Structure 1
Amino acid sequence: MVDFDFDLVVRDGTVVTSFDCFSADIGVKDGVITAIGRNLRRGREELSAEHQLVIPGGLDPHCHIEEVAESGSVQEETFETGSKAALAGGTTSLICFKPQWRGHSIKSSAPDYLERASRALADYSFHQIITDPSPEVLDQEIPTLLALGVRSLKVFLTYDPLRLSDGQFISVLSKAKQLGMMVTVHCENYDAIEWLQNALLAAGKTAPVYHAWARPVVVEREAAHRAISLAELVGQPIQVFHVSAGAVADEIERARKRGSKVWGETCMHYLTHTIADLEKPHFEGAKVVCSPALRDEGEADRLWAAISRGTLNVISSDHCGFSFAKAKRDPGSSAYGQGTALLNDDGTPAFNSIPNGVPGIETRMTVLFNEAVTKGRLDLPAFVRLTSTNAAHLFGLKGRKGDIIPGADADLVIWDPTREKTINVSDMHQAIDYTPWEGYSAKGWPTTTIRRGEVVVRDNQILAKAGTGKLLPRA
């Protein structure tokens, strides 16, 4: 009987960690990385990564998947389809959002959400959305989240019925500080948006592009400044989600220079798309209606500069998909709509009724690799930090996820940096019927995805079964 030293050995690849690149083998035992070195002894299974990179499995810390609205409607992307898409794109771990509906307790809001998540193929964790921080929620329910390993809260400063007042936001910050939790924030000024939106609608300006007119950079910048200031008042760490413009990154950078505990995240669509995409004919602009809105040409360069400086240190997908054939055209399909539904003459919804969100979980790492590494903006360790390591450190998964180190989960991606391919939704695994990157040509693609030592994707074919992902309690 042959005695193997490892369950799996990945051989002869260029290993990319958060701080270095080197040629080595990786040995895996019981789902964990146990050895990194040259000429490792035999594994029960062996994979060649010759002429390829071996990188940590991606950690996407911002994914809206199968969220349940108070009305009972459910987002089209399920945990099964969404995690298949994630794995195919090289992402092995997700942090999604547990809903709380205003007027409801956390427990009574989407009580089957954990059961829904148990169908995932990728490993998963949660941010808890807080829309109604009543004394009961603050003092009794939020502390119980710690037992689930949920160590982060999400708050909105815009959208009805999700937004918090400044006073409510302060109460959440205070409770999070008491419990040692992170707070993540959607920063936009609700009243300013409402004023602009009403003026545009009254003037008959209803096309998708006016979504961006109603949400200019100033409403995001002001809300980010306010969120950071209130967090400084309380002394609570926050992460500003989906930064879309350089002026918002500047607010974060100024705060960090003051010593404030604030981090910034951006998303791939802000680095590759602009307001011009909202102007596409035949309602095509609805495909990229998201909040904060897409910005003018040139803002992406300012975001890249902020990424290079470390001001923005996480790049997520903010995957929040609504199908173009149905949901984007249906004002009643979104839990995040704002304002009274209004239809155009052709039956399409006005900009304020288009469900907000774009699908990006499957394309995040490939598009970023092409934009950052292939085009020479960033080196390979920076790519790893942006897609995995930094989020793991921020959200309590350091040492387990996000890097190739002994003792970490064996979440690995064999990546071909020379492979060139065009993105086409027909090749993808998501439930959503379009991708904003349709026809985008990228150099650098995953060929094999390994989750906890098990090969789960090979050449875009999903090998894992539904329900094999694990809930990730976080420190």
Structure 2
Amino acid sequence: MLDTAIRNAEIVTAGDRFRAEIGIRDGRIVAVAEDVGAARTEIDAAGLLALPGGIDAHVHLEQYQGGGVVMADGFESGTRSAAAGGTTTVMPFALQQKGQSLRAAVAAYHAAADGKCYVDTSFHLIITDPTPQVMGQELPALVKDGYTSFKVFMTYDDMVLNDAQLLEVFDLARREKAMVMVHAEGYDAIRYMTRRLEEAGQTAPYFHAKSRPQSVEREATHRAISHAELTDVPITIVHVSGREPMEQIQWAKRRGMNIWAETCPQYIALEADDLKGLNMDFEGAKYVCSPPPRDRDSQEAIWEGLRDGTFDIFSSDHCPFRFDDPKGKDVAGARTAFRWVPNGIPGIETRLPILFSEGVSKSRISAERFVALTATNPARLFGLYPRKGTIAVGADADITLWDPAREVTLSQSLLHHDCDYTPYEGMQVTGWPVRTILRGQTVWDGQKVTGAMGAGLYLDRGTSQAFR
């Protein structure tokens, strides 16, 4: 007998949409058929869509910040919020601090996560100090242990890698078949613009966006692509914000280069003018993230890319800091100059509703494309497919039941993160997750998180399909 049967489901995968029942046993999908037979537990999914559980491939949880800043969400609150938003797997970053052993950074991050996760997790690495020890021993060994992706930064004082270091890291990634995620913004150009704006007295949060125009993202995106071409390695350009960097990715893809791309909710739902706050005041700090939101033309460009395949994945880049907190957005100095405002906004729980509402409900993208962007492609890109990212026999029974007609007004009061605001306050969405199922167990019932803290597993990963 089955453990669970989902009846009357309209199943949506990345490639199809059909009516069938889903049979679950021991946490796996064992049948997808017209009639899967008897089960101890039955779920009636009439009127709902059955989607693969969301995979959020770009989140920041309990990540070291320095300077007295503390991230709002740790693993408990972050994964709780993910479950309520229809996401069953999250992929945060184990950050190597300068001078730190990469292996030690990974061990410390596991210690922070152990026993606290409501959904499954798998870690990317962040490489900030590519020493001979890291490059020659630690990183190759960690890739073989299942940490098959890592992120590098082209900006930020304590994270930036120079071009020579980037080339060495890319070359290692090619040899070890690891996916490199690239934060593409030009470091020196941002420092130059920041200094000019401060000298002119333009220090409010709004000028954060002015300090990081599309040209610095476009240039860095082109440079990262050029380095990838030189070293013959696939890379993923993350959190692409607008038309100019997107055109660089399209140019590379047309040439047959193995370049992948990600965008995020802030680039379809927010604009640079949101950083003005109520009257060019500190309220604008709620929207400070990097790259910053752009303008309406950039939003239209992002939708073009979501439709035509320029973008492969849609992640939250959840990077939460409390607004009314001297350890968050209101850290010492933040009210005097935008450069001190912690970069990042919350979005792990609102990612799927925003894309479904703005995309599927408004007929910009199909439900199948929604699934590809939010579950199937992340699983394929980061070595989790076919265990994750699809509804098929043999896959983990990670399923989100979705009410495509439910209308909800986004509000901080609805959300389950530990941040004290949402940048999407008051936004109306159509489409909502009413049940999240992780390996056959309901972890969100539409009203409350029902899963047990610690039930989430850590997932070792295989090689990205980008190398196949």
Rounded to whole Å, the distance in 2 between the matches of 1:133 and 1:460 is 46
Candidates 17, 24, 28, aligned match of 2:24: 28
Deviations 1:74-110 (A, max 9, x none): 4220101000000000000011100101122213437
User: Is the CA contact (8 Å cut-off) linking 1:314 and 1:390 kept in structure 2?
Assistant: yes
Q: Give structure 1 stretches of 5+ with no counterpart.
A: 333-341
Rounded to whole Å, the distance in 1 between the matches of 2:68 and 2:177 is 33
User: Is the CA contact (8 Å cut-off) linking 2:324 and 2:330 kept in structure 1?
Assistant: no
Deviations 1:240-299 (A, max 9, x none): 000001111110111111121101100001101101101122422110100011112221
For 1:312, the equivalent position in structure 2 comes to: 311
For 1:209, the equivalent position in structure 2 comes to: 206
Rounded to whole Å, the distance in 2 between the matches of 1:106 and 1:72 is 23
Rounded to whole Å, the distance in 2 between the matches of 1:217 and 1:159 is 17
For 1:199, the equivalent position in structure 2 comes to: 196
User: Is the CA contact (8 Å cut-off) linking 1:331 and 1:354 kept in structure 2?
Assistant: yes
Question: What amino acid maps onto 1:314 in structure 2?
Answer: I
Task: Give SS of 1:462's match.
Answer: coil
For 1:336, the equivalent position in structure 2 comes to: none
Please give the residue correspondences for 1:164-203 in structure 2 after superposition, counting only pairs within 5 Å.
164-203=161-200
User: Does residue 440 of structure 2 align to residue 440 of structure 1?
Assistant: no
Deviations 1:126-146 (A, max 9, x none): 111000111110011102213
User: Is the CA contact (8 Å cut-off) linking 1:286 and 1:328 kept in structure 2?
Assistant: no
- Alpha carbons of 1:74 and 1:191: their partners in 2 closer, same or farther (altered >3 Å)? same
Deviations 1:350-401 (A, max 9, x none): 1111000010000000111000010110111001001111111100011111
Rounded to whole Å, the distance in 2 between the matches of 1:112 and 1:189 is 30
- Alpha carbons of 1:166 and 1:453: their partners in 2 closer, same or farther (altered >3 Å)? same
For 1:298, the equivalent position in structure 2 comes to: 297
Task: Give SS of 1:24's match.
Answer: strand
Shift of 1:442: 0.8
Rounded to whole Å, the distance in 2 between the matches of 1:331 and 1:71 is 9
For 1:338, the equivalent position in structure 2 comes to: none
Rounded to whole Å, the distance in 2 between the matches of 1:179 and 1:77 is 32
Rounded to whole Å, the distance in 1 between the matches of 2:271 and 2:368 is 28
User: Is the CA contact (8 Å cut-off) linking 2:261 and 2:310 kept in structure 1?
Assistant: yes
CA RMSD in angstroms comes to: 1.3
For 1:57, the equivalent position in structure 2 comes to: 53
For 1:419, the equivalent position in structure 2 comes to: 406
Moved more, 104-113 or 68-77: 68-77
User: Does residue 447 of structure 2 align to residue 452 of structure 1?
Assistant: no
- Alpha carbons of 1:43 and 1:472: their partners in 2 closer, same or farther (altered >3 Å)? same
For 1:241, the equivalent position in structure 2 comes to: 238
User: Does residue 223 of structure 2 align to residue 226 of structure 1?
Assistant: yes
Rounded to whole Å, the distance in 1 between the matches of 2:147 and 2:319 is 21
Rounded to whole Å, the distance in 1 between the matches of 2:53 and 2:352 is 10
User: Is the CA contact (8 Å cut-off) linking 1:68 and 1:110 kept in structure 2?
Assistant: no
Rounded to whole Å, the distance in 1 between the matches of 2:308 and 2:329 is 40
Task: Give SS of 1:22's match.
Answer: strand
Shift of 1:72: 8.1
Task: Give SS of 1:107's match.
Answer: helix
Moved more, 178-187 or 321-330: 321-330
Question: What amino acid maps onto 1:95 in structure 2?
Answer: M
Rounded to whole Å, the distance in 2 between the matches of 1:71 and 1:351 is 15
Moved more, 159-168 or 72-81: 72-81
Rounded to whole Å, the distance in 1 between the matches of 2:447 and 2:217 is 38
User: Is the CA contact (8 Å cut-off) linking 2:25 and 2:440 kept in structure 1?
Assistant: yes
Question: What amino acid maps onto 1:26 in structure 2?
Answer: I
Task: Give SS of 1:442's match.
Answer: strand
Deviations 1:405-458 (A, max 9, x none): 111100001111111111111111100010111111111101111000011110
User: Is the CA contact (8 Å cut-off) linking 1:12 and 1:50 kept in structure 2?
Assistant: yes
Deviations 1:177-226 (A, max 9, x none): 11110000000000000001001001111111100110000000000000
For 1:11, the equivalent position in structure 2 comes to: 7
Question: What amino acid maps onto 1:246 in structure 2?
Answer: R
Rounded to whole Å, the distance in 2 between the matches of 1:460 and 1:388 is 23
Q: Give structure 2 stretches of 5+ with no counterpart.
A: 463-468
User: Is the CA contact (8 Å cut-off) linking 1:423 and 1:440 kept in structure 2?
Assistant: yes
TM-score by length of 1: 0.94
Rounded to whole Å, the distance in 2 between the matches of 1:474 and 1:109 is 18
How many residues are treated as equivalent by the alignment? 458
Task: Give SS of 1:34's match.
Answer: strand
Rounded to whole Å, the distance in 1 between the matches of 2:336 and 2:322 is 14
For 1:331, the equivalent position in structure 2 comes to: 331
- Alpha carbons of 1:407 and 1:110: their partners in 2 closer, same or farther (altered >3 Å)? closer
Question: What amino acid maps onto 2:314 in structure 1?
Answer: I
Rounded to whole Å, the distance in 2 between the matches of 1:456 and 1:67 is 25
User: Does residue 264 of structure 2 align to residue 267 of structure 1?
Assistant: yes
- Give me the identity figure in percent: 44
Question: What amino acid maps onto 2:102 in structure 1?
Answer: I
Rounded to whole Å, the distance in 1 between the matches of 2:361 and 2:441 is 28
Please give the residue correspondences for 1:378-417 in structure 2 after superposition, counting only pairs within 5 Å.
378-417=365-404
Rounded to whole Å, the distance in 2 between the matches of 1:160 and 1:450 is 41
Rounded to whole Å, the distance in 2 between the matches of 1:452 and 1:419 is 25
